[in-house]
Amino acid sequence: MMDVRPGEYVVARLEPSAAVPPRLLDAAGGFVSVTRTEAEVSIVCPAGVAPDGAVVEAGWRLLTVRGPLEFSLTGIMAALAGELAAAGVSLFAVSTYDTDHVLVKDADLGRAVTALRSAGHAVTGE
């Protein structure tokens, strides 16, 4: 089962030495993911709390697999990605300890939900 989460999300990029704005982790009610590598700080967050000075790709919607999922489960993200690819929908994937999350562009949300439901997934929300 998947849920379409309300609101618009962004994918943002900061320089690798940038500090993560503390307000991101205080974003009540919104999904936030922060990943730091040698080359960047990558952030997924609600549009309203996008960090100042970041390169921002806006217009994303968030679908969350209901979890928690066991670590021994295989193929969940592969199945979702394959079904969306077959429908011509690109995605941005984020996995957390408990579950998987897929972001799709707002313009593709209807097509994504239709494709997932056609493949047998229960999708709630918009």
- So what's the pLDDT on residue 70? 84
pTM beyond 0.85: the answer is: yes
Structural domain range at position 105: 2-124
Count of domains forming the chain: 1
Domain with residue 15: its CATH number is: 3.30.2130.10
Calpha distance 45→8 (Å, rounded): 9
- So what's the pLDDT on residue 92? 98
One pLDDT digit (tens) per residue for the chain, 126 residues: 999 999 999 999 999 999 999 888 886 768 999 999 999 999 999 999 999 999 999 999 999 999 888 888 888 999 999 999 999 999 999 999 999 999 999 999 999 999 999 999 999 987
- So what's the pLDDT on residue 29? 64
Calpha distance 45→124 (Å, rounded): 21
Can you read off the two tokens belonging to residue 36?
Answer: 């730091």
Task: Report yes or no: 43 and 51 within 8 Å, Cβ to Cβ.
Answer: yes
